[in-house]
């Protein structure tokens, strides 16, 4: 999730954030890795239920509209793809796209596999 989060940086994790609310686009979340549910990843919510996410080699579109992602410094080259999310699915990606394993590999993540929200605004200073 660099540059947003750095290795070793303290973060505040809210495991109850989605008990009564749903993740919003741009939220940084902790998700269970679908291929190994004992592993968890910190990623950003990009696509919401019912939306169509289209990726070109360097850009992200939601329902045909270019998504502004000022937090992404290293886009790299990604495989073009398009996916329409189901009623309980989210598309998540890391901010350091060339180094991230995320929905581009696993596909959409069900809400039940989003286990917490990461709050970067209240993180203790290093």
CATH number at residue 57: 2.10.109.10
Within-domain flag for 7: no
pLDDT tens readout for residues 68-91: 998 887 777 788 999 999 999 999
Into how many domains does the chain fold?
Answer: 1
Give the domain extent around 110: 12-119
Whether 2 is covered by a domain: the verdict is no
In a domain, 21, yes or no: yes
Long-range contacts at 71-80 (CB < 8 A, ≥ 24 apart): 71/3, 71/4, 71/44, 71/95, 72/97, 73/2, 73/3, 74/98, 74/99, 78/104, 79/55, 79/104, 80/54, 80/55, 80/56
Q: What is the pTM of this model?
A: 0.87
Give domain status of residue 97, yes or no.
yes
Residue 113 lies in a domain: yes
Residue 73 domain-assigned (yes or no): yes
Encode the chain (126 residues) as per-residue pLDDT tens digits.
555 655 655 566 677 788 888 999 999 999 999 888 889 999 999 999 999 999 999 899 999 999 999 888 777 778 899 999 999 999 999 998 888 899 999 999 999 999 999 986 654 443
């Amino acid at each position: 999730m660099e540059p947003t989060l750095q290795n070793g940086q303290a973060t505040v994790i809210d495991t109850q954030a989605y008990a009564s609310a749903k993740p919003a686009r741009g939220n940084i979340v902790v998700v269970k890795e679908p291929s190994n549910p004992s592993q968890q990843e910190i990623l950003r919510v990009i696509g919401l239920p019912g939306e169509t996410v289209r990726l070109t080699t360097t850009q992200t579109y939601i329902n045909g509209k270019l998504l502004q992602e000022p937090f992404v410094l290293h886009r790299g080259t990604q495989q073009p793809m398009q996916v329409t999310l189901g009623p309980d699915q989210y598309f998540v990606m890391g901010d350091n796209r060339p180094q991230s394993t995320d929905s581009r590999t696993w596909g959409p993540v069900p809400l039940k596999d989003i286990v917490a929200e990461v709050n970067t605004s209240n993180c203790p200073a290093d």
